[in-house]
Amino acid sequence: MNKIDKAGWISVVGNPNVGKSTLVNALVGEKLSIVTHKPQTTRKRITAIANGPDYQIVFSDTPGVIKPHYKMQEAMMQKVGEALEDADVVMAVTDVEEGGFREELLEKLKYVKVPVIVVLNKVDLTKQEDTAQRLSALENVIKPTKIIAVSALHGFHVDELKKILLEHLPVGEPFYPKDYMSDLPERFFAAEILREKILMYYHKEVPYSVEVIIEEFKETEKLTHIRAVIYVNRHTQKGIIIGHKGEALKKTATAARKDMEKWLNGKVFLEVQVKVKKDWRDNEIQLKNFGYL
């Protein structure tokens, strides 16, 4: 009998902070999508590819669904809409705290034509009977193709979820070479690593006002030279990012460099500059330059 290959696109959607990126990383077995305790960590559509001997799953991790307040957030929500339209399977993720989806997402999920797998994440935080209750409530509201409770952080039921996803994936040949983990360039991941540290080390609106662009990524025999620019929204934010005697930026850049070295498996020389691009989040030209539009 012939071996059956499965290949397809799975879009991962849900409210902010429910663990979509953590789950995608767990399914792929590699940290590709950045994760923090803050909402709106993911801003763009991130492809992360899980390869097996007889399958290739191309995940699209997406930003958490919010009500947009500025153009960048509108662009983020546009990506979620697109991801819902071109998937073979939709994986809608919620967690035990939220146990549901924002109204506008729920409406869209009702009209999705492909299988919708609902995932209740973070079950490590709750009792079994509460999980069961959450699951039946969700099932009544959205009538998913399948529903499963997992803990992305602890790897609980992640393999079972992968089996379910594969069952609903179309038969087909892989879209990418089998050693690909993403179709995004290295520069993108380098920028995301630095942005993750900015989300971790700065407070309030600052991380949300920042874009990171890698202006140089040069591999030599001994090390990788990475030159990053942190763009901020307002002049006062530049001072905050740099901090007293440059301490804040030094701490952030050092943490980012260490992660980059782990990811690239070699030495990294990271240079970071801070520049002001006034009100870039509402400026279409800037948003285009930064890859949001």
Ligand X SMILES: Nc1nc2c(ncn2[C@@H]2O[C@H](COP(=O)(O)OP(=O)(O)OP(=O)(O)O)[C@@H](O)[C@H]2O)c(=O)[nH]1
For binding to ligand X (CB under 6 A), which residues are involved?
14, 16-22, 35-37, 39-42, 63-64, 121-122, 124-125, 151-153
Q: Which of 94/224 has CB closer to Mg ion? A: 94
Helix or strand holding residue 14 (H, E): strand 6-14
C-beta of 57: minimal distance to Mg ion in Å? 18
* Binding to Mg ion, residues 42-81 (CB under 5 A): 42
CA distance 109 to 227: 41
Q: Which of 35/49 has CB closer to ligand X? A: 35
CA distance 212 to 233: 12
Return the bridge partners of 51, or none. Answer: 56
Q: What x/- string results for residues 203 through 242 when contact with Mg ion is judged by CB under 5 A?
A: ----------------------------------------
C-beta of 95: minimal distance to Mg ion in Å? 12
The number of residues that bind Mg ion (CB under 5 A) is 4
CA distance 241 to 185: 26
The site partner of 167 among ligand X, Mg ion, none (C-beta below 5 to 8 Å per kind) is none
The site partner of 142 among Mg ion, ligand X, none (C-beta below 5 to 8 Å per kind) is none
Q: Which of 17/47 has CB closer to ligand X? A: 17
Q: Are 176 and 49 in contact (CB under 8 A)?
A: yes
Handedness of CA 51, 63, 75, 43 (dihedral sign): negative
* Residue 17 makes contact with Mg ion by CB under 5 A: no
Closest C-alpha among 195, 236, 219 to residue 46: 195
CA distance 93 to 83: 14
For the chain, the C-alpha Rg in angstroms (whole number) is: 20
Q: Taking contact as CB under 5 A, which single stretch among the options 19-27, 69-77, 119-127, 261-269 is the one that binds Mg ion?
A: 19-27
Question: Given the structure tokens 């520049």, which residue do they identify?
Answer: 275
Q: Which residues bind Mg ion (CB under 5 A)?
A: 20-21, 41-42
